[in-house]
A and B are shown apart, each in its own frame.
Chain A
Amino acid sequence: MLTLPRAVHDHMVAHCLVGLPDEACGLLGGDLDTGRATTCYPTRNLAASAKLYTVDPKEHLRADRDAETAGGSIIGVFHSHTHTDAYPSPTDVAQAPDPSWHYVLVSLRDTEPVVRSYRIVDGAIEEEPVHLLGR
């Protein structure tokens, strides 16, 4: 399960909306053991594309250091799908870097953004519940 404080959720969705018409991406910092995210790290999409994303490596390094300094780590990545479901694409699965991470998809296809989270282990996709904290 991924636990998302409302502020982290809203920061993530806002970054995805601002990134339109391209895909937007970022990292989540928090506690890997409990799956609780505490920080949203919006990053640049170096691919600058509506169909692909690449997290800016320099921003990844900064986010990683910040999360580690806070006693946690990077626990996952989020990105938007601008015209498709909030479901990992073959590209997402092929390039998923860490089986312990949470892979969050924000679909902007419909009027209301749809947020879903997945685990990707050895190419197998499993959706997990997203627990929103706060109002």
Chain B
Amino acid sequence: MPVQVNLPTVLRPQAGGDRSVAVEGATVGEVLTALVAQYPGMTGQVIDDSGSLHKFVNVYLNDDDVRYLSGVDTAVGATDELSILPAVAGGAFGPGAPRRP
């Protein structure tokens, strides 16, 4: 059964502009692998070469971050929704104070 996957704006161009797509899979990992197979432009942006979640991506099964469930092994069903969002971080950091060039 396909699972609905909600895409962040940064990945939508790779899926023809769609906000969400339907992808087959019984686990988070299977769904994300199938997603990338379906839209090869997402290669390297969602899962890494070893099949783990990309470091700068957060994936939610309905309301829950899958890293706090069973990660890519988390089971998904037809009534579930997966949402992919970028991790958003940064900051002034370090003593080399950024200044207008």
Contact = CB atoms under 8 A, between A and B. Distances in A.
A97 B54 CA distance: 12
Given A64-B85, A84-B92, A97-B87, A89 B9 contact: no
A47 B89 contact: yes
A87 B89 contact: no
Interface stretch (B24-32, B58-66, B70-78): B58-66
Interface residues of A, number: 41
A98 B9 contact: yes
A23 B98 contact: no
Contacts of B65: 57-58
B98 A84 contact: yes
A87 B83 contact: no
Contact of B85 (A50, A60, A91): A60
Contacts of B91: 23, 47, 49, 51-53, 79, 89, 91-92
Given A52-B90, A61-B60, A61-B83, A97 B99 contact: no
Contacts of A54: 87-89
Given A27-B88, A58-B63, A88-B90, 7 more contacts: A51-B93, A73-B9, A77-B88, A81-B98, A94-B90, A95-B90, A98-B10
Interface of A: 23, 25, 27, 32, 47, 49-55, 57-58, 60-61, 64, 68, 73-74, 77, 79, 81-85, 87-92, 94-101
